[in-house]
Structure 1
Amino acid sequence: MIVEDPDRFGLDLSSGGAESRRLNVLEFGAGTGLVSLAVAKLLDILPSFNHCEVSVVATDFYPSVLANLRSNIDTNFPPTHNQISSAHSITTHFLDWSSFSTTPRPDDLSCPFDIVFGADIIYEAQHAVWLRDCLKGLVRRPSDGAASPAAFHLVIPLRPTHTFESSTVESVFLKACDVDPNDDADLVIVSKESIVCDAHGDYTRGQGLDEDVEYVYYKIGWSNAQL
């Protein structure tokens, strides 16, 4: 989705403005790093980012996952060239969602982020709450005066085993239309889209039946931003 339509995710600034500022991209629960790696490679070839300083930070919690994540980054961007271009970089960082709002912020997470990604990261009832608290300290606010508003792009599968956990996203992040415009800025669901993907049967278990897998894509941003 990101590669097919970068503009949808704020990643194609060909209309202008990319040259005048730095773009900071963050991924929550990066795992293998697929999203961050794809974004970093994409930004390296998009002409609108040739002269724009770009930082991609892939985060996770588990030490073994972070070690594998760093290995995957080194494989795609060898250490001797770990700066993709002269002004582009991709790094990893430990991030504990549950304590982020109460602990000192490391340098790599001290700058406001323009674009945040999360893919399949809602597994517990508290995850959406912790993510919201992290986002409030990490997502660039409209008052910063950037050309385009910041956003959190969240895609989650609708698993029968995690129905309640998935529902917490919409209880934690209200819809933009339900927020009083006179209230202080808050993070809200700007848009919601259902995505159905064809998935072939699990041939490793001898099952060859096709079935659809449904995902939900949320775009979340500040309630007083013009998205």
Structure 2
Amino acid sequence: MRPAAGRPLPPTSSLPSLRRLDELTESRLFSALDDLFAIYCPVSVPKLAFEHVSKPSRRSLLNQPPPLTDSGYNSGYPSDNEDDDDEKDSPEGHLAPIRTDELERAFAIKWLERLVSCAADEDPRPACFSSDEAQQSVLEQAADLLVALLNPVHDGVDHPDENQDEEDGFWREFTFAMPDRLIPITVRLNDGLAGAADHTDVGLQTWGASIVLCRMLCESPSRFGVTRDNLGPSPKIVELGAGTGLVSLCLGQLFPRLGIEQVSVVATDYHPSVIANLERNIAANSVDGTSPVQACVLDWADTKLEGPMQEVKADMIIATDVVYAPEHAAMLYDCASRILAPGGTFWLLQTVRQNGRHGDHADSVEPVFGDRALDEKPGVLKILSSERLEKVDGVGRGDETFYRLFRIGRDA
């Protein structure tokens, strides 16, 4: 049964039976997947008319990662002045009841799971597929849909969890694609506690730079030296100013996928409310109550290292958007000098805000690390390379202009 033009029907009445997969056509399967994308992924995944797309174009579409999740400051919501009747008559108004129907969602999940199970047979290939590429396309789309259905974001914009109390803030999910992997990395965070005692504490919010860095890490781990050959089987990673823990939690999932099973990720911050929320987020992303990520209090100005920070030097340090005052760059230098292992790398992604009260700090990193590098003492930290990264549309606050990525290390 097919819907009126542009209006997919509920999954229970439109998805074809998979009992005899060989009797289905390739076009019918792609059409069914398109309808599910239109219902459950209206923003993040475009509808794809695969029967009208050439193989090279189809592959390029499939290899596109899903759009980055907005940091929450530029997210657009419908105007309160929109007419309710117009919304009901629109395609989105038609799909809204289907999208929120748990029976329909459960049916779609079961159908997709069965499709993956049936379509995964490689020898012989099911007769409904004209090529190995078409078979792989179905598997990839079905996997993407399963991720979306099991981790729902109904309209492409993260909203507060209705089951959470108001003082608990709201839970958000961030998804990052990996090349040649069907299942992306997904991190769930309690982001922006409404009941925090100090509402100005920046560590209670996920900022654009951390989202940008997570995407880069997942797209190209080797660019950052995140390989077993470079870091060994049991590296120690430290994040400075971890905030909500997005980068650390992303790395906690990324390393095992790269064959690095014994990684230890220490997410550090200073403010008590940030540490409490960080521990909560680590628990929310743990598997069977365990996680390679642990939270630790770290004061950049304190020379005393406690807890996991005093055990082993860091093979890699990561910090995103942590320079908010003229003295922060110097404090970062002193802290990184104490905890970075010989041969280790410090990745610093700085957000440049050319307008506003933080604009004066945009150039504070290079002078500090440059001046220290002129010292005659061996082993001083210095900037090994830097590059400018343009701001991504829809990610981060409006006052963010661009980013600078610094690779920092010691003289050989």
- The verdict on a shared fold, with TM-score over 0.5 as the criterion, is yes
Q: Please give the alpha-carbon distance, in whole angstroms, between the structure 1 residues aligned to 2:344 and 2:391.
A: 27
Mapping of 1:198-217 within 5 angstroms?
198-200=392-394, 213-217=401-405
CA deviations over 1:94-134 (Å, ceiling 9, x no partner): 111122x2x3x213112100010001000011111111111
- Could you tell me how far apart the structure 2 residues matched to 1:201 and 1:123 are? 19
Indicate how the Cα distance of structure 1 residues 131 and 41 shifts in structure 2: closer, same or farther if over 3 A, else same. Answer: same
Matched, 1:41 2:253: yes
Matched, 1:32 2:244: yes
Q: Pick from 329, 335, 350: which aligns with 1:128?
A: 329
1:57 to 266, 272, 286: 266
Quote the offset at 1:186 in angstroms: 0.6
Alpha-carbon distance in 1 for matches of 2:219, 2:284: 24
Pick 1 or 2: higher relative contact order, CA cutoff 8 A, min separation 6: 1
Matched, 1:151 2:345: yes
- Report the equivalent of 1:98: 301
Give 1:81's aligned residue.
289
Over residues 25-53 of structure 1, what are the superposed CA-to-partner deviations in whole Å (9 max), with x where a residue is unaligned? Answer: 00011011000000010012112x14xx3
Q: 1:201 to 1:17 in 2, by over 3 A?
A: closer
1:16–1:59 CA distance, 2 compared to 1 (3 A): closer
1:169 to 338, 361, 365: 365
**Alignment correspondent of 1:109:** 309
- Determine if contact 2:353/2:400 at 8 Å carries over to the other structure: no
Where in structure 2 are the equivalents of 1:134-145 lying within 5 Å? 134-141=335-342
Cα RMSD, aligned residues only: 2.5
**1:5 aligned residue:** 220
- Counterpart of 1:189 (choices 375, 378, 383) is 383
SS of equivalent to 1:124: coil
Note if contact 1:175-1:189 (Cα within 8 Å) is conserved in structure 2: no
**Structure 2: 5+ residue stretches without partners:** 1-215
* TM value normalised by structure 2: 0.44
Cα distance in 2 between the residues matched to 1:31 and 1:113: 19
Aligned to 1:18: 232
Question: Is the contact made by 2:240 and 2:269 (CA closer than 8 Å) also made in structure 1?
Answer: yes
Cα deviation code 1:175-208 (max 9, x no counterpart)? 89x748x752210000010000232499xxxxxx
The 3 A distance-change label for structure 1 pair 96 and 90 is same
Give the match's secondary structure for 1:131: helix
Match of 2:279 among 61, 67, 70: 70
Q: Larger Rg: 1 or 2?
A: 2
Q: Return 5+ residue gaps in structure 1 as ranges.
A: 84-88, 142-148, 203-209
- Offset of 1:163 from its aligned partner? 2.9
The one-letter amino acid paired with 1:65 is V
Q: Secondary structure at the match of 1:3?
A: helix
Q: 2:333 touches 2:381 (CA, 8 Å); kept in 1?
A: yes
Structure 1 contact 198–212 (Cα < 8 Å) conserved: no
SS at match of 1:130: helix
Q: 1:113 to 1:201 in 2, by over 3 A?
A: closer
Name the aligned partner's letter for residue 214 of structure 1.
Answer: F
Question: Which whole-Å CA distance do the structure 2 matches of 1:193 and 1:175 have between them?
Answer: 19
> What is the identity percentage for the equivalent residue pairs of Structure 1 and Structure 2?
32
Deviation >4 Å, runs of 4+: none
Question: Counterparts of 1:17 and 1:123 in 2: how far apart (Å)?
Answer: 31
CA contact (8 A) 2:351 2:400 kept: no
Contact 2:296 2:307 in 1 (8 A): no
Corresponding residue number in structure 2 for 1:218: 406
The alpha-carbon distance between structure 1 residues 199 and 132, as it changes in their structure 2 partners (threshold 3 A), is same
